[in-house]
């Protein structure tokens, strides 16, 4: 067909390959032996070798509640429920969950020599975690929730875990069974003061419904109860309108801000700054404590004394002379203890820096200075109007009154010198009400700083501006000025 002729292929003798005997052994025999050795090697590697080199068993570990960190001989392996390889021998498996007592289980992990890769020994382990305090696990979650509030809105690079609602899921049934339902509401109210992002608000809302359902799947009745509690909370907190307007997603926030309820609530001067602005204060006498000069501030309901200026380098040197632990030469030790940061006592090379001021003082160091200065108060001067006075950092309210009512003319550089440490743990929404007990229990990982610094543009920082830093932070933009005021026993 098509004019082509198929040519027959002939195999010539030189094209043929034949194997020759080896040591007189014919190819059929030694090839069979060779193939057998290879096959036996493969079977050995598949069926025996894994059992020789990786001895142990697989444990599927479940805990109640779930989500516990699983450690094998104190080495983290995963989170329950999980399946973990446990090396052969006597091992300690520990389940750890915040708010619960760690549970240890001793196991004797066996080993299967033959076919362990295909059919390993598998065992089941169930661990029930217990807590001495039915509220402890929920409180641990609330503390983690407050810490995450400083991370800001999540992005593509990181996500914020739902720590509060997960803790409520684990611990609400224990609290409810112990009659601690009102305590759960108190913890949620204190946590709401840290809900500064839409993700945090979602976590808080989920925790609210789980609390109403005692950690179970919310029923219709539980949903109604949670909604009632939410409305009651919003009515009891006029500042909640501004809070929701800040943290809701933009589309929802716009609907809220256009509502009559929001306009009515937001128009009322309910925030603490607005109330403090109305307080009438005046300056009183000067007093000296050690090397520091204080001015008396007399308000309608309070009297306290504030340092005229931020603590100077000369005053700081007097403190270090009696407390060499806090010297700049000891920065390495202080930093290793988590008491100061890398810029401890470093003076910036900038003409705008307020000359002579002690820079880069951490809050821990500022507290140590206050304690040293307090010891120099004459015993007869410690009682003021029947109250015990101490040298300490100012509360945010004390600082704000001095800054707004008296300003830089009375207190040098209180606005625009250095950011100044305050006594208060930082809470994003301090005007939201919550039981004082749970406010103190939650605390905060950061503390208030006020006033702006020499590096901020003029008028960019107002007395109302709030910022925060961890207590070990040592920044050339941060200093402090103490007060001599009523003793505050608990932060």
| The length of the chain, given as a count of residues | 491
Fold of 51-128: Immunoglobulin-like (2.60.40)
The predicted model gives 318-335 an average pLDDT of 97
Q: Which residue matches tokens 């003319």? A: 409
Q: Helices marked H in 270-337 — which ranges?
A: 272-277, 313-322, 331-336
**Least confident residue range of 45-49, 145-149, 279-283, 320-324:** 45-49
Farthest CA pair distance, the chain:
129
Angle between helices 260-267 and 240-247 (to 10 degrees): 120
Contact 454, 353 (CB under 8 A): yes
Contact 365, 471 (CB under 8 A): no
Most confident of 121-135, 328-342, 347-361, 403-417: 328-342
Most confident of 65-69, 240-244, 366-370: 366-370
DSSP 249-277: -HHHHHHHHTSHHHHHHHHS--SHHHHHH
* Dist CA 102 CA 70 (whole Å): 10
Inform me whether the pLDDT recorded for 88 exceeds 70: yes
Whole-number pLDDT of residue 8: 62
The predicted model gives 264-274 an average pLDDT of 70
Whole-number pLDDT of residue 38: 86
Q: Using alpha carbons, select from 238, 149, 249 the residue that is nearest to residue 198.
A: 249
Q: In whole angstroms, how far apart are CA 310 and each of 147, 354, 357, 482?
A: 29, 10, 7, 8
Give the pLDDT band (50/70/90) at residue 1: very low
Inform me whether the pLDDT recorded for 272 exceeds 90: no
* Dist CA 228 CA 225 (whole Å): 5
Neighbours of 50 (CB within 10 A): 18
The pLDDT mean for the chain works out to 88
The predicted model gives 340-361 an average pLDDT of 93
pLDDT for 14-36, tens place per residue?
Answer: 556 677 777 777 777 877 888 88
3-state secondary structure of 138: helix
Inform me whether the pLDDT recorded for 489 exceeds 70: no
Q: In whole angstroms, how far apart are CA 160 and each of 157, 198, 199, 200, 204?
A: 10, 11, 8, 8, 13
Neighbours of 81 (CB within 10 A): 14
In the numeric block, which tokens belong to residue 118?
């295909």
Fold of 276-486: 3.90.1580
Coarse DSSP helix, strand, coil percentages of the chain, rounded to the nearest 5 percent? 40, 20, 40
Contact 96, 71 (CB under 8 A): yes
* Dist CA 224 CA 209 (whole Å): 9
Inform me whether the pLDDT recorded for 270 exceeds 80: no
Whole-number pLDDT of residue 104: 93
Task: Please list the residues that pair with 462 across neighbouring strands.
Answer: none
3-state secondary structure of 291: coil
Instruction: Please name the residues in contact with 265: beta carbons below 8 A apart, sequence gap of 6 or more.
Output: 238, 239, 240, 241, 242
Give the pLDDT band (50/70/90) at residue 299: confident
Whole-number pLDDT of residue 268: 64
Give the pLDDT band (50/70/90) at residue 3: low
* Dist CA 408 CA 309 (whole Å): 9
The predicted model gives 350-369 an average pLDDT of 94
* Dist CA 216 CA 384 (whole Å): 54
Q: Give percent of the chain with pLDDT exceeding 70.
A: 94
* Dist CA 288 CA 305 (whole Å): 10
Bigger pLDDT: 228 vs 117:
228
pLDDT for 155-164, tens place per residue?
Answer: 777 788 999 9
In the numeric block, which tokens belong to residue 383?
């009682």
Q: Which residue matches tokens 């306290």? A: 304
Inform me whether the pLDDT recorded for 436 exceeds 70: yes
- Locate the domains of the chain by residue range: 18-47, 51-128, 136-236, 276-486
Neighbours of 410 (CB within 10 A): 15
* Dist CA 310 CA 293 (whole Å): 10
Q: In whole angstroms, how far apart are CA 231 and each of 194, 238, 255, 434, 437?
A: 19, 12, 17, 15, 23
Instruction: Please name the residues in contact with 95: beta carbons below 8 A apart, sequence gap of 6 or more.
Output: 61, 63, 68, 69, 70, 71, 80, 102, 103, 105, 127, 129
Q: Which residue matches tokens 């609907």? A: 255
E strand segments, 50-88: 56-64, 69-72, 75-79, 82-87
């Amino acid at each position: 067909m098509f004019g082509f002729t198929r040519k027959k292929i002939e195999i010539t003798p030189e094209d043929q390959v034949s194997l020759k005997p080896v040591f007189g052994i014919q190819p059929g025999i030694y090839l069979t032996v060779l193939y057998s050795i290879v096959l036996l090697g493969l079977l050995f590697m598949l069926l025996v070798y894994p059992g020789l080199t990786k001895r142990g068993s697989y444990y599927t570990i479940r805990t109640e509640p779930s989500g516990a960190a699983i450690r094998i001989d104190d080495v983290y392996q995963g989170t329950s429920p999980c399946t973990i390889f446990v090396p052969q021998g006597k091992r300690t498996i520990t389940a750890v969950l915040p708010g619960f007592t760690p549970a240890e289980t001793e196991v004797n992990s066996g080993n299967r020599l033959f076919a362990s890769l295909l059919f390993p020994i598998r065992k089941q382990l169930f661990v029930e975690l217990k807590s001495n305090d039915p509220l402890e696990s929920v409180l641990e979650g609330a503390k983690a929730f407050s810490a995450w509030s400083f991370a800001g809105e999540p992005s593509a690079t990181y996500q914020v875990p739902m720590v509060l609602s997960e803790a409520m899921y684990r611990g609400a049934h224990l609290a409810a069974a112990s009659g601690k339902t009102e305590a759960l509401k108190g913890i949620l109210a204190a946590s709401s003061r840290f809900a500064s992002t839409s993700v945090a608000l979602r976590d808080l809302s989920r925790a609210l419904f789980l609390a109403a359902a005692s950690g179970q799947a919310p029923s219709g009745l539980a949903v109604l109860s949670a909604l009632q509690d939410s409305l009651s909370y919003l009515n009891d907190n006029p500042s909640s309108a501004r809070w929701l307007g800040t943290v809701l997603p933009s589309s929802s926030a716009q609907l809220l801000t256009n509502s009559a309820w929001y306009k009515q609530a937001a128009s009322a001067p309910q925030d603490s700054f607005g109330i403090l602005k109305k307080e009438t204060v005046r300056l009183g006498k000067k007093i000296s404590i050690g090397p520091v000069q204080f001015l008396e501030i007399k308000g309608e309901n309070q009297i306290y004394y504030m340092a005229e200026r931020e603590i100077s380098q000369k005053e700081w040197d007097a403190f270090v002379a009696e407390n060499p632990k806090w010297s700049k030469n000891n920065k390495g030790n202080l930093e290793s203890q988590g008491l100061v940061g890398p810029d401890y006592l470093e003076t910036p090379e900038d003409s705008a820096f307020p000359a002579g001021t002690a820079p880069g003082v951490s809050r821990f160091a500022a507290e140590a200075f206050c304690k040293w200065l307090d010891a120099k108060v004459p015993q007869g001067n410690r009682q003021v109007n029947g109250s015990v006075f101490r040298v300490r950092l100012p509360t945010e309210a004390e600082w704000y009154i001095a800054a707004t009512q008296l300003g830089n003319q009375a207190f040098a550089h209180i606005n625009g010198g250095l950011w100044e440490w305050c006594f208060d743990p930082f809470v994003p929404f301090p005007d939201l009400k919550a039981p004082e007990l749970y406010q103190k229990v939650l605390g905060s990982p950061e503390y208030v700083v006020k006033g702006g610094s020499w590096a901020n543009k003029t008028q960019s920082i107002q007395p109302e501006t709030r910022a925060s830093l961890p207590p070990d932070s040592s920044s050339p933009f941060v200093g402090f000025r103490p007060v001599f005021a009523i003793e505050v026993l608990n932060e």
